[in-house]
């Protein structure tokens, strides 16, 4: 029977939508940031969904080669449409996002171009960006090596200045110095910003960025002295395998001196090294920029998983039928709600903190342009910390959403396995999450010591200045309703973060040296960093609620979600809150009681709350998460697309199945 025989055009989720107590359009605006953002996103999502070239429903069934070629095709088509339709930068970025297939263009726009913008002189920008903006060259960001990724200062590739020819000699001295991982490097990029140790006048000046041409612009073959290829298949079907992450070895490749990115430091014609009067950490500027964008990616990925699990949970029924009556929607089970609704709340929380982080980044960039570097450490700590906490939580949540969808969640057609596989590496790329949390911890330890010497901290650590109160305060919560008070919530998060940081600082001071103490206490420091970052997320959610939020019932729903986000963290990390004396066991159980009530209040709004993400069925790419809820027809239809179903009798029957069956049959007749 054909799937269409079962599926109609009916909205199987209409009943769910009818119970919503708020204006979904208003929530779309709150989620997207503005009415304009909703409108542009809608237009670009529809453009992608209606174009057959951007089809992705059979992507997980393609071989690696087919998938790669499909990615090249999509990228070229996207560029063609961008030019034909004169898309703005905002529109073109959204177009790329909704195509939803990692590829070389991501590295080109998100890392190569920003690296040149941030580290190139005006002259270099003019030369290289002009070509990059027109796709006359394709660039990547080649930093990580086979032997070192996290420890950037440990990279081994060398760039030795030769004054006799006014060139740098780029070289990979060891196997472990091979560049390894850069996206688009394997098969596509014609150019790269390559990070290497600058050596001039016999002295090693550490890591700097250099623009290198890698492949011929005529026939795409690697230039002499460059060995280059793909590093091999990665986790999951489809997923990140569309990206040609690459390996590259350099054998004394010469490039002109003016291809060193010279905004932060220069090498003169004579070979003198000159450093500008800017902090050398600006070399890491591209990573700060990208980490900030990854927070927005995390909220998007999480919201997609939640959208799938909520809609499916409203359709899927198990148990509970009495005398032939309907079974229970699995979304009505309290266990399902307590697992799923914190993710729904987290998706909104990450979205809002991502919007704030974008503002922070813009603000810091403007300050840097006027040579004010004072907010750089805070920008580094916030981007590193938020990137870590949001990507780890998102990867865990997508995996859990797969379980929340039962067996069908494990099918590629649910969209969840691919979503997990694509987002899991975000915990590692742009800085391993633990390594980055240790950077946050280092910033916190510095701030604690500044507070001890009487300095008033600012920005996201301003709360630490309230040390007298926060070190000894007791939560005012006495009833379940008291946990509705944002000030009470914020205070316990502040007290927990500060007390954990101060405990670490005190314990470090007992160690023989600061370094030994930091290393010994690093697991505690990571937890203190997480507490600080969670405080930022909670605070930014609370601040969002103080804005003008339009639309009937929208603010009320967001207040509930904010409560769920904060209280589920108290429940999950109760050990921290108890051991630091920020809440009592009774207050902890009141928080849990409040949480249960909030779940019940969110339940009738759950489907509408995921509708507000405004995702097309194309972008969601899930038989379980379809807008119309026609899950079973979709699953049935998707199954028949599998290459195994191309023939009724499978390939291999004649060689392997038939002889086996025949032989066994013969034996049984003996
Ligand atoms: C889209 C997908 C594609 C993926 C692409 C990639 O993955 S690309 C590859 C992505 N790869 C990675 O992400 C690699 C991850 N690794 C790293 O980023 C660095 O190696 C490190 C930060 C771990 C250590 O850095 P280090 O060896 O220099 O040692 P240190 O700890 O002693 O720090 C010295 C000082 O610098 C400060 N500072 C540090 N970073 C920043 C910053 N961004 N901004 C501002 N400041 C920063 C730090 O606070 C400290 O300040 P203080 O206290 O002296 O005032
Ligand atoms: C899909 C993907 C795409 C990528 N794209 C690019 C790209 O385009 N360009 C590019 O240059 N790179 C890219 N990378 C590389 C990426 O940036 C690195 O993998 C990342 O920075 C982590 O470094 P590593 O692999 O060396 O991990 P390692 O540092 O070797 O980590 C291994 C383990 O050691 C732990 N560890 C390491 N140092 C410490 C420490 N000081 N204290 C405590 N624990 C520690 C980590 O937590 C981790 O558990 C990509 C990686 C992936 C997976």
User: Using one digit for the tens of pLDDT, what is the confidence trace for 247-300?
Assistant: 999 999 999 999 999 999 999 999 999 998 889 999 999 999 999 999 999 999
Structure-token pair, residue 309 = 């699990």
Give the CA-trace dihedral at 602, 604, 607, 611, to 10 degrees: -80
- pLDDT given for residue 325 in this prediction: 83
Whether 637 is covered by a domain: the verdict is no
Q: What 3-state class would DSSP assign to 134?
A: coil
Confidence of residue 3 (pLDDT cuts 50, 70, 90): very low
The answer to the question of residue 52 being in a domain is no
Burial of 569 (0-12, 13-18, 19+ CB in 10 A): buried
Q: Does residue 294 share a domain with residue 190?
A: no
In CATH, what number is assigned to the domain containing residue 123?
Answer: 2.40.110.10
Q: How many domains does the chain have?
A: 2
- Of 276, 307, 338, which marks where a domain is finished? 276
Read off the pLDDT of each residue in 426-442 and give the average, rounded to a whole number.
Answer: 98
Q: Is pLDDT above 60 for 149? A: yes
The pair of structure tokens assigned to 205 is: 């000046």
* pLDDT (average), residues 397-402: 98
Biggest alpha carbon–alpha carbon distance for the chain: 94
R_g (Cα) of the chain, nearest Å: 27
Identify the H or E element spanning 25: helix 24-32
Q: What are the DSSP E strand ranges found in 288-418?
A: 317-318, 328-329
Q: Residue 163: exposed, middle, or buried by beta-carbon count in 10 A (0-12, 13-18, 19+)?
A: middle
Torsion angles phi and psi, residue 347, rounded to 5:
-60, -45
Write out the residue range of the structural domain in which residue 125 sits: 113-276
Cα 599 from Cα 350, distance rounded (Å):
19
Co-location of 118 and 232 in the same domain: yes
ipTM confidence score = 0.99
Question: What local confidence, expressed as pLDDT, does residue 670 receive?
Answer: 79
What's the 108 CA to ligand 1 centre distance in angstroms? 21
Within this chain, do residues 507 and 471 fall inside the same structural domain, yes or no? yes
b/e sequence 522-543, b meaning 16+ C-beta within 10 Å = eebbbbbbbbbbbbbbbbbbbe
CA 141 to CA 193: how far, in whole Å? Answer: 5
Say yes or no: 237 and 361 in one domain: no
Question: Residue 71, Cβ neighbours under 10 Å: how many?
Answer: 23
Catalytic (active-site) positions = 430
CA 284 to ligand 1: nearest atom: 43
Point out the domain boundary residue: 559, 587, 611: 611
Q: Is 458 helix (H, G, I), strand (E, B) or coil?
A: coil
What pLDDT was estimated at residue 8?
52
Residue 183 labeled ligand binder: yes
* Mean pLDDT, residues 118-123: 96
CATH number assigned to the domain comprising residue 305 = 1.20.140.10
- Structure confidence at residue 123 as a pLDDT band (50, 70, 90): very high
Whether 16 is in a domain gets the answer no
Left if phi > 0, otherwise alpha if psi is -120 to 50, otherwise beta: which for 190?
Answer: alpha
- Tell me: pLDDT of 4 over 90: no
- The answer to whether the CB of 379 falls within 8 A of the CB of 364 is yes
Mean pLDDT value across residues 622-642: 97
3-state secondary structure (DSSP) of residue 200: strand
My answer on whether 210 and 345 are in the same domain is no
- Crossing angle of the two packed helices 24-32 and 35-49, in degrees rounded to 10: 90
Question: Which pTM value belongs to this model?
Answer: 0.97
User: Do 238 and 291 reside in the same domain of the chain?
Assistant: no
Tokens at residue 461, please?
């650590």
Structure confidence by residue, pLDDT tens digits, 196-211: 999 999 999 999 999 9
Cα–Cα distance for residue pair 345/559, rounded to 1 Å: 10
Do the beta carbons of residue 117 and residue 130 sit within 8 Å?
no
**Residue among 142, 146, 150 to mutate when testing ligand 2 (max atoms within 8 A of CB):** 150
Identify the band that residue 322 occupies on the pLDDT scale cut at 50, 70 and 90: confident
Three-class secondary structure of residue 199 per DSSP: strand
Measured from the alpha carbon of residue 181, the closest ligand is 2
380, 382, 384, 522, best to mutate for ligand 1 pocket (most atoms within 8 Å of CB): 380
The predicted-structure confidence for 468-486, as pLDDT tens digits, reads as follows: 999 999 999 999 999 999 9
Residue 7's pLDDT band (cuts 50, 70, 90): very low
Ligand 2 pocket member 144 (CB < 6 A): yes
258 by Cβ neighbours in 10 Å (0-12 / 13-18 / 19+) ranks as: middle
Cα separation, 614 vs 528, whole angstroms: 36
Share of the chain above pLDDT 70, in %: 99
Contact 563, 482 (CB under 8 A): no
Residue 602 pLDDT greater than 60, yes or no = yes
- Please check whether residues 455 and 318 belong to one and the same domain: yes
- Specify if 670 maps to a domain: no
Q: How far apart are CA 470 and CA 67, in angstroms?
A: 55
Give a yes or no: residue 216 inside a domain: yes
Domain annotation covers residue 652: no
Is residue 224 located within the same domain as residue 329?
no
- Residue 150 CA, ligand 2 centroid: distance in Å: 5
Length of the chain: 670
Instruction: Tell me, yes or no, whether 265 and 388 share the same domain.
Output: no
Task: Give the domain-ending residue among 232, 249, 276.
Answer: 276
Tell whether ligand 2 has an atom less than 6 A from the beta carbon of residue 181.
yes
Statement: residue 438 has pLDDT above 60: yes
Nearest Cα residue to 140 out of 72, 80, 69, 214:
214
CA separation for the pair 312, 306 (Å, rounded): 10
- Which pair of structure tokens corresponds to residue 294? 């990854």
Same domain, 415 and 457: yes
Q: Is residue 397 part of a domain?
A: yes
Residue 22 lies in a domain: no
Kindly indicate the confidence band of residue 323, based on its pLDDT and cuts at 50, 70 and 90: confident
What is residue 9's predicted lDDT score, i.e. its pLDDT?
Answer: 65
- In this predicted structure, what is the pLDDT of residue 5? 42
> Per residue in 157-199, pLDDT tens?
999 999 999 999 999 999 999 999 999 999 999 999 999 999 9
Query: Are residues 271 and 329 located together in one domain of the fold?
Result: no
Q: What pLDDT is recorded for position 6?
A: 43
CA pair distance 538, 432, nearest whole angstrom: 23
Burial category of 131 from C-beta neighbours within 10 Å (exposed 0-12, middle 13-18, buried 19 and up): middle
Contacts of 628 (CB under 8 A, 6+ apart): 9, 10, 11, 12, 13
Of all ligands present, the nearest one to the C-alpha of 441 is 1
Residue 506 CA to residue 529 CA, distance in Å, equals 16
- Is 157 annotated as belonging to a binding site? no
Question: Where do we find the tokens 């600082």?
Answer: 505
pLDDT tens digit sequence for 562-597? 999 999 999 999 999 999 999 999 999 999 999 999
Dihedral of CA 614/616/620/626: which sign?
positive
Residue owning the nearest CA to atom 35 of ligand 1: 281
> Do residue 327 and residue 195 come from a single domain?
no
Averaged pLDDT for residues 514-518: 97
């Amino acid at each position: 029977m054909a799937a269409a025989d079962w599926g109609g055009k009916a909205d199987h989720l209409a009943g769910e939508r009818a119970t919503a107590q708020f204006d979904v359009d208003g929530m779309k605006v709150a989620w997207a940031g503005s009415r304009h953002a909703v409108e542009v996103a809608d237009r670009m999502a529809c453009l992608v969904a209606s174009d057959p070239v951007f089809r992705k429903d059979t992507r997980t069934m393609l071989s690696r080669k087919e998938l790669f070629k499909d990615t090249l095709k999509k990228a070229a088509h996207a560029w063609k449409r961008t030019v034909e339709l004169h898309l703005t930068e905002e529109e073109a970025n959204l177009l790329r996002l909704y195509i939803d297939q990692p590829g070389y263009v991501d590295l080109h726009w998100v890392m190569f171009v920003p690296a040149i913008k941030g580290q190139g002189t005006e002259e270099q920008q003019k030369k290289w960006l002009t070509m990059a903006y027109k796709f006359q060259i394709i660039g990547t960001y080649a930093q990580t090596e086979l032997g070192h990724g996290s420890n950037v200062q440990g990279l081994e590739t060398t760039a030795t200045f030769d004054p006799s020819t006014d060139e740098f000699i780029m070289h990979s001295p060891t196997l472990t110095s091979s560049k390894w991982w850069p996206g688009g490097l394997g098969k596509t990029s014609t150019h790269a910003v390559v990070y290497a140790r600058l050596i001039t006048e016999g002295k090693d000046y550490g890591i700097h960025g250099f623009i290198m041409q890698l492949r011929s612009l005529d026939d795409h073959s690697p230039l002499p002295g460059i060995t280059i290829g793909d590093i091999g298949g990665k986790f999951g079907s489809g997923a990140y395998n569309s990206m040609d992450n690459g390996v590259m070895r350099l054998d004394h490749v010469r490039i002109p001196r003016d291809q060193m990115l010279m905004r932060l430091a220069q090498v003169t014609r004579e070979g003198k090294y000159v450093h500008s009067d800017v902090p050398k950490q600006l070399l890491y500027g591209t990573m700060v920029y990208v980490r900030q964008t990854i927070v927005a990616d995390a909220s998007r990925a999480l919201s997609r998983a939640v959208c799938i699990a909520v809609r499916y949970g409203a359709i899927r029924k198990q148990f509970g039928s009495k005398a032939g009556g309907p079974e229970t929607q699995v979304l009505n089970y309290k266990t399902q709600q307590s697992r799923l609704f914190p993710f729904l709340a987290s998706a909104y929380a990450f979205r809002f903190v991502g919007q704030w982080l974008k503002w922070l980044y813009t603000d810091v960039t403007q300050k840097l342009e006027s040579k004010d570097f004072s907010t750089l450490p805070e920008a580094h700590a916030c981007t590193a910390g938020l990137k870590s906490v949001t990507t780890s939580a998102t990867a865990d949540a997508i995996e859990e959403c797969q379980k929340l969808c039962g067996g069908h969640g494990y099918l590629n057609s649910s969209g969840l396995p691919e979503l997990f596989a694509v987002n899991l590496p975000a915990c590692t790329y742009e800085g391993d999450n633990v390594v980055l949390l240790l950077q946050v911890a280092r910033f916190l330890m510095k701030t604690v010591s500044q507070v001890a010497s009487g300095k008033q901290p600012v920005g996201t650590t301003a709360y630490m200045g309230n040390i007298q109160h926060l070190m000894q305060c007791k939560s005012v919560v006495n009833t379940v309703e008291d946990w509705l008070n944002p000030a009470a919530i914020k205070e316990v998060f502040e007290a927990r973060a500060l007390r954990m940081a101060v405990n670490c600082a005190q314990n470090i001071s007992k160690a023989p040296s600061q370094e030994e103490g930091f290393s010994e206490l690093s697991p505690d420091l990571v937890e203190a960093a997480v507490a600080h970052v969670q405080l930022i997320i909670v605070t930014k959610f609370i601040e969002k609620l103080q804005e003008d939020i339009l639309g009937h019932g929208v603010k009320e729903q967001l207040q509930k979600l904010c409560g769920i986000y904060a209280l589920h963290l108290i429940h999950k990390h109760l050990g921290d809150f108890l051991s630091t004396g920020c809440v009592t066991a009774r207050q902890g159980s009141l928080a849990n009681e409040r949480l249960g009530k909030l779940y019940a209040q969110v339940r009738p709004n759950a489907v509408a709350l995921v509708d507000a993400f405004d995702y097309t069925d194309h972008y969601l790419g899930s038989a379980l998460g379809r807008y119309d809820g026609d899950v079973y027809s979709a699953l049935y239809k998707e199954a028949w697309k599998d290459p195994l179903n191309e023939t009724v009798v499978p390939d291999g029957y004649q060689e392997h199945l038939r002889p086996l069956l025949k032989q066994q049959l013969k034996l049984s007749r003996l």
